[in-house]
Amino acid sequence: MATVLLVLYDDPVEGYPPSYARDGVPRIERYPDGQTTPTPERIDFTPGELLGSVSGELGLRAFVESRGHRLLVTSDKDRPDSVFERELPNADIVISQPFWPAYLTAELIAAAPRLKLAVTAGIGSDHVDLEAAIAHGITVAEVTYCNSISVSEHVVMMILALVRNYLPSYQWVVDGGWNIADCVSRSYDVEGMQVGTVGAGRIGSAVLRRLKPFDVGLHYTDRHRLPADVERELGVTFHPDVASLVRVCDVVTINAPLHPETENLFDAELIGQMKRGAYLVNTARGKICDRDAVVRACESGQLAAYAGDVWFPQPAPVDHPWRTMPHHGMTPHISGSSLAAQARYAAGVREILESWFDGRPLRDEYLIVSGGALAGAGAHSYSTRGPAGGNRPVSG
């Protein structure tokens, strides 16, 4: 019998939803590149339900228990006496989401002798120390592409919200005002601006495609250059490094994985090279940006505004300065956890577990670490050098 330790975020404050705003979510069978959406043998949930919180259990309990295994679900993590850390030494499989990550540090992995599989219900396995996973023969997998389009939609929403000054304008209405001058004094058009993405993988390229109709100049940098025909189709300009991109862009969006080369990439020096009054959107990982450098840039006006839904640590402490800095559009980490995305990543986790329990190979595109090395999607996107992965959060 295997113990599956599932770490999920808390239920809604008012309790698990008895009903939903819509009767379901659209059915999508393939992603834009042709990859099929998750294909488990079956699912035990209704797409459109809240699956990512504790009561939702990713729809896994009936399946896991029918296979004779134990499923333990908790939201309690990030402290030495948490349920997660108490149960980890006896866990064979750990599953968590990027939005509420179970940080698997080298120390915790060393204290978990039975652990053989770490699954990210979503995209992004930087909360796992990949070097330690490799050394201990642990397979690391994630549900690649399951919420990439969800995140790209969120990026476009945040860009428009910042540039058009939407959030302060909405607040005037909520507060009973009609202060048009206050609303428009920081409102601009996206049209004609230069917009760049740091990272042009599935999310970054989807952002570019969605922004093209806005009649903006498009730019990108990535260690994997897009094919020439794609560059021509999008009318996008390639930059060999981040510095050359940020100097020309009015809006910069970060869509790159966290690894040693991107950790604290947007520090005071790089932000200082951006246009004064540029907008910065980060839905990738909080540690790609220097926390205090972002705060100072928003206070000084070097950045007109900053938005994103990724923090370090997650959940962010109540005194995290990004909560109170001026001109921000921060949200909890929700960009990839829409109800539609949850249906896909819950189905993907089910597919991974079916294969694992049956002794079948996991999909190559789901693999991050396998056989003592980076594998599949991980070999394309990740690096094991340095301390970025899996480090325990100790402060905001």
pLDDT of residue 390: 55
Could you tell me how many helices (H) and strands (E) the chain has, helices first?
A: 14, 14
* Residue 176 in domain: yes
The verdict on pTM exceeding 0.85 is yes
Q: Which is nearest to 41 in space by CA: 71, 63, 13?
A: 63
Catalytic residue chosen out of the listed positions 97, 147, 165, 282: 147
Whether residues 47 and 65 share a domain: the answer is yes
Which bin fits 66, alpha (ψ -120 to 50), beta or left (φ > 0)? alpha
Q: Select from 330, 359, 388 the last residue of a domain.
A: 330
**Residue 145 gets which letter from DSSP?**
T
* Residue 40 in domain: yes
Structure tokens at 162: 């910042």
Q: Are 105 and 390 in contact (CB under 8 A)?
A: yes
* Residue 385 in domain: no
* Residue 258 in domain: yes
| Rounded Cα gap, residues 323 and 24, in angstroms | 33
Q: How many domains does the chain have?
A: 2
Whether residues 28 and 122 share a domain: the answer is yes
Whether residues 276 and 347 share a domain: the answer is no
Catalytic residue chosen out of the listed positions 219, 239, 333, 363: 333
pLDDT of residue 288: 98
Q: Select from 295, 311, 330 the last residue of a domain.
A: 330
Q: Is 127 an active-site residue?
A: no
Residue recorded with tokens 């601009």: 188
Catalytic residue chosen out of the listed positions 219, 314, 320, 344: 314
| Rounded Cα gap, residues 16 and 51, in angstroms | 10
The shares of helix, strand and coil residues in the chain, as percent rounded to the nearest 5, are 35, 15, 50
Whether residues 111 and 213 share a domain: the answer is no
- Backbone Cα Rg of the chain: 21
Q: Is 333 an active-site residue?
A: yes
Give me the domain span that covers residue 193: 148-330
DSSP element (H, E) containing 95: strand 93-96
Whether residues 170 and 280 share a domain: the answer is yes
Q: Which is nearest to 342 in space by CA: 112, 146, 93, 70?
A: 146
| Rounded Cα gap, residues 267 and 244, in angstroms | 15
Q: Are 265 and 242 in contact (CB under 8 A)?
A: yes
Whether residues 172 and 211 share a domain: the answer is yes
* Residue 382 in domain: no
* Residue 195 in domain: yes
Whether residues 141 and 153 share a domain: the answer is no
Whether residues 158 and 171 share a domain: the answer is yes
Q: Is 69 an active-site residue?
A: no
Looking at the DSSP bridge assignments, the partners of residue 329 are 307
CATH number assigned to the domain comprising residue 172: 3.40.50.720
| Rounded Cα gap, residues 349 and 347, in angstroms | 6
Whether residues 116 and 69 share a domain: the answer is yes
* Residue 160 in domain: yes
Catalytic residue chosen out of the listed positions 127, 219, 239, 285: 285
| Rounded Cα gap, residues 289 and 390, in angstroms | 17
Whether residues 104 and 183 share a domain: the answer is no
Q: Could you give the strand order of the β-sheet that contains 251-254, starting from the edge strand earlier in sequence?
A: 236-238, 217-221, 194-198, 251-254, 278-282, 303-308, 328-330
Whether residues 197 and 213 share a domain: the answer is yes
Whether residues 33 and 56 share a domain: the answer is yes
| pLDDT tens by residue, the chain, 396 residues | 999 999 999 999 999 999 999 999 999 999 999 999 999 999 999 999 999 999 999 999 999 999 999 999 999 999 999 999 999 999 999 999 999 999 999 999 999 999 999 999 999 999 999 999 999 999 999 999 999 999 999 999 999 999 999 999 999 999 999 999 999 999 999 999 999 999 999 999 999 999 999 999 999 999 999 999 999 999 999 999 999 999 999 999 999 999 899 999 999 999 999 999 999 999 999 999 999 999 999 999 999 999 999 999 888 999 999 999 999 999 999 999 999 999 999 999 999 999 999 999 999 999 999 999 999 999 988 876 544 455 554 332
* Residue 192 in domain: yes
pLDDT of residue 385: 58
pLDDT of residue 395: 31
Q: Is 285 an active-site residue?
A: yes
| Rounded Cα gap, residues 140 and 123, in angstroms | 12
